[in-house]
Amino acid sequence: MPAVRDAGIVVIGSGMAGLTTALRLSPRPVTLLTKTPDLPGGSSPYAQGGVAAAIGPDDDPGDHAADTVAAGAGITDALMARLLAAEGADQIRRLLASGSAFDRDADGTPMLGREAAHGRARIVHAGGDATGRILTHEFADLVRRTGSITVMTQAFAVDLIVRDGRVHGVLACHAEDGWIFHRASHVVLATGGVGSVFLHTTNPAENTGDGLAMAARAGAALGDLEFVQFHPTALAVDDGSGKPLPLLTEALRGAGAVMLDGQGRRFMPAEHPDAELAPRDVVARAVWRRVAAGERVTLDMRAALAEDAGHFPTVLDLCAQAGIDPTREPVPIAPAAHYHMGGVVTDADGHTSIDGLWACGEVANTGVHGANRLASNSLLEALVFGDRVARAIAVAGAGSKRPPIAIPAIPSVPGNSGEAIAALRGSVRRAMYDHVGLSRDAPGLDRALKLLAGLEAERTGLKAQGSASFHDTVAWGELRNLLLSAVLITRAASQREESRGAHYRSDFPAALPAWQHRRFISLRDFDALRVPQQPVKEARHAVPAGL
C-alpha cells in the first residue's frame, strides 16, 4: 500500500508551464512534483531563441495570431491563437515590468529578434540565446521562496487516479519516501513533450511522454497526435550515448545563417520563397531529403557570428564542446524531434475531458499550434495557459473534496532490469525515427506498429529480479509511457491519409480539404497495442548515415 497524503492541488512538472501554474496558484497550497533532481526540468531550460510577443511599436497581437494561424497549415484554432498572442503580450509586459532579465538596449527597451515565419521582429530573449535557462531559473527561485508551494523532487508520477470521470489524485514513486498516493481534487499535467520517443531529439532524456500516456490510460481525450515537429538544425554530432542533439537556434537563420548542401551550395531559395526562413516543416524536410540521400548538409553561420557573436553564446559553447569552430567552417546539421503539437485535449482554461484534470504547456493540445508550431510560441504558451489554468482552478474552488475511494495498489515493477529496459527503449526510439519521422508511408507505419507491439510484449514479459529501486521504477515507467506514446502517435499518423504541416506522408503527399480539421481520439477508441493485420513490406526509410 502506498502512503496517503492530502495534497489538494498537484502540479506535475517543473518546466515553464509547471512553474508558472504553481506560482500563479499562490497563495493556495500546491504540491509540485518533478522527477528531476532539482528545479527546473524538461525542455524549458534548453530554449534558446526566446519568447514571441507582439510588444514592438509596429506590432500587433492580431498580426502575431495571423502568423501563428498561417504556420499551423489550416487547422489552428484561430480563437486560441488570438488568445495566445493577446494574453502573451500582457504576460511579457508583466515580466518586463517585474525586472525579468530580458536583453534590453541602453534605454531599457527590450531587444526583439526575428525568427522564421514571423512577419515582424518580436522575439524577446535573455542572455542572448540562453532565454530558457535564465527565465526558468528566475521562476524556480520564486517557487522555492513561495511558502504555499511544496516542492517534491525525484518524485515520479506513475498514474492518475480517476474514478467515474473525476480525478482523485496521483500515484507517485519518490526517491526518498517510496510510494505515495497524493489525494487531490485538481491535478495539473505540465509534463512536457515526447522527444525521447525518437532516436534523435533536441529534448532532454526525461521527455518521455509521461503526461500523455498517463492521461491516455485514464481515458482522457487526446488530439492531433500525428503532428511532431522536427527541428531542421540540430548539430549532427551523435555519439550514440542517447544524449539530446544540441540545437542551433532558428535565430541564427534570422541573423543570416544559410544552409548548404553536400556541394556547398545554398538550396533553400529553390525550395521556398522565404528560403531559410520558411516554415520549420518545409526546412526540416528539405534538410532530411539531402541527409537521407547521404549528403553532408551544413549550416554556415560565419557571417551571422561575425555580425553579432555576443548574441549566440550557447551555440558557440555547444559547438566548442563538439570540437567545432563555427566562426571558421560550416557545421554539420540534421533534423531532430523537437516539439509535439498534439497532446491532451484542453479548452481555453486548460481543462481536459476529465473532471479535475488540467494540462498546460507542451503536453496540452489547445489547438493553438495546428499542424505546425510557430517558432518561440511554446514558452509563451506555457506562460499564458499556465496562468489560465491557475485562474480557472481558483474559480472552480481549490479545496473541493472528493468522496473517499479505495487506495490504489502499487504496480509490480521488475527490479534490476536496467539493461533490458535500456535496450527496449533504444529499439522503440529507433523504430519511431526510422518509420514515423519526417517522411511516413503506410508500409512503414504498419511496420512500426508491429515492432512496437513486439516490444510491448517484451516489456510486459520482463521478470522481476529482486526489489525495484526508484531508478528501476523510473526506467520501467518511462518505457511504459514511451511505448504507449509511440503507438498512439503511429496510429494517428496511419489514420491521417494526407500531408499537412509537420505530418508528411510520401504515399499521400498533398493536403486534402476533407482532412482540414483536428483529430481527437482516446485510448478506448482502439486497442492501442493490437498488431496490424495488413501484410508488412520492408520499410523504406532508414536512419541516414552519419547521424
Ligand X SMILES: Cc1cc2nc3c(=O)[nH]c(=O)nc-3n(C[C@H](O)[C@H](O)[C@H](O)COP(=O)(O)OP(=O)(O)OC[C@H]3O[C@@H](n4cnc5c(N)ncnc54)[C@H](O)[C@@H]3O)c2cc1C
Among 191, 196, 473, 494, the residue binding ligand X under the rule CB under 6 A is 191
Closest CA to 173 of 196, 153, 155: 155
- In the shown chain, the binding pattern of residues 226 to 255 toward ligand X, with x for contact by CB under 6 A and - for none, equals ---------------------x--------
Interface with ligand X includes 372 (CB under 6 A)? no
Interface with ligand X includes 156 (CB under 6 A)? yes
The residue count for binding ligand X (CB under 6 A) is: 44
Among 382, 383, 390, 420, the residue binding ligand X under the rule CB under 6 A is 382
- From residue 193, alpha-carbon distances to 152, 433, 448 in Å are 21, 16, 20
Interface with ligand X includes 356 (CB under 6 A)? no
Sheet containing strand 123-124, edge to edge, reads 51-52, 123-124, 112-113
393 φ, ψ (degrees, to nearest 5): -65, -40
Interface with ligand X includes 365 (CB under 6 A)? no
Interface with ligand X includes 346 (CB under 6 A)? no
Interface with ligand X includes 342 (CB under 6 A)? no
Q: Between 176 and 527, name the residue whose CB sits nearer to ligand X.
A: 176
Please tell me whether residue 353 adopts helix, strand or coil conformation. coil
Q: Which of residues 157-186 bind ligand X (CB under 6 A)?
A: 157
CB of 192 to ligand X, least distance (A): 2
3-state secondary structure 479-524: HHHHHHHHHHHHHHHHHCCCCECCECECCECCCCHHHCCCCEECHH
Instruction: Pick left, alpha or beta for residue 74 (phi over 0 → left; psi -120 to 50 → alpha; otherwise beta).
Output: left
Active site residue 280: yes
Q: Between 481 and 499, name the residue whose CB sits nearer to ligand X.
A: 481
Residue 192 CA to residue 44 CA, distance in Å, equals 9
Cβ–Cβ under 8 Å, residues 184 and 9: yes
Amino acid at 534: Q
Interface with ligand X includes 34 (CB under 6 A)? yes
CB of 396 to ligand X, least distance (A): 21
Among candidate residues 24, 280, 373, 518, the one labeled active-site is: 280
CB of 338 to ligand X, least distance (A): 6
Interface with ligand X includes 267 (CB under 6 A)? no
Among 21, 48, 196, 417, the residue binding ligand X under the rule CB under 6 A is 48
Interface with ligand X includes 379 (CB under 6 A)? yes
CB of 88 to ligand X, least distance (A): 10
Cell numbers at 201, concatenated: 531529439
Residue 81 CA to residue 79 CA, distance in Å, equals 5
Residue 232 CA to residue 245 CA, distance in Å, equals 11
Residue 25 CA to residue 386 CA, distance in Å, equals 9
Q: Which stretch of DSSP H or E encloses residue 458?
A: helix 442-460
Among 15, 88, 342, 501, the residue binding ligand X under the rule CB under 6 A is 15
CB of 200 to ligand X, least distance (A): 12
CB of 504 to ligand X, least distance (A): 21
Interface with ligand X includes 72 (CB under 6 A)? no
Among 59, 67, 77, 206, the residue binding ligand X under the rule CB under 6 A is 206
Interface with ligand X includes 92 (CB under 6 A)? no
Give the other-Cβ count within 10 Å of 332's Cβ. Answer: 18
Q: Between 281 and 446, name the residue whose CB sits nearer to ligand X.
A: 281
Q: What is the number of alpha carbons within 13 Å of residue 156 lying toward its C-beta?
A: 23
Residues designated as active site: 280
Residues at the interface with ligand X (CB under 6 A): 12-18, 33-36, 41-44, 46-51, 131-132, 155-157, 190-192, 202-203, 206-207, 210-211, 247, 339, 361-362, 376-379, 382
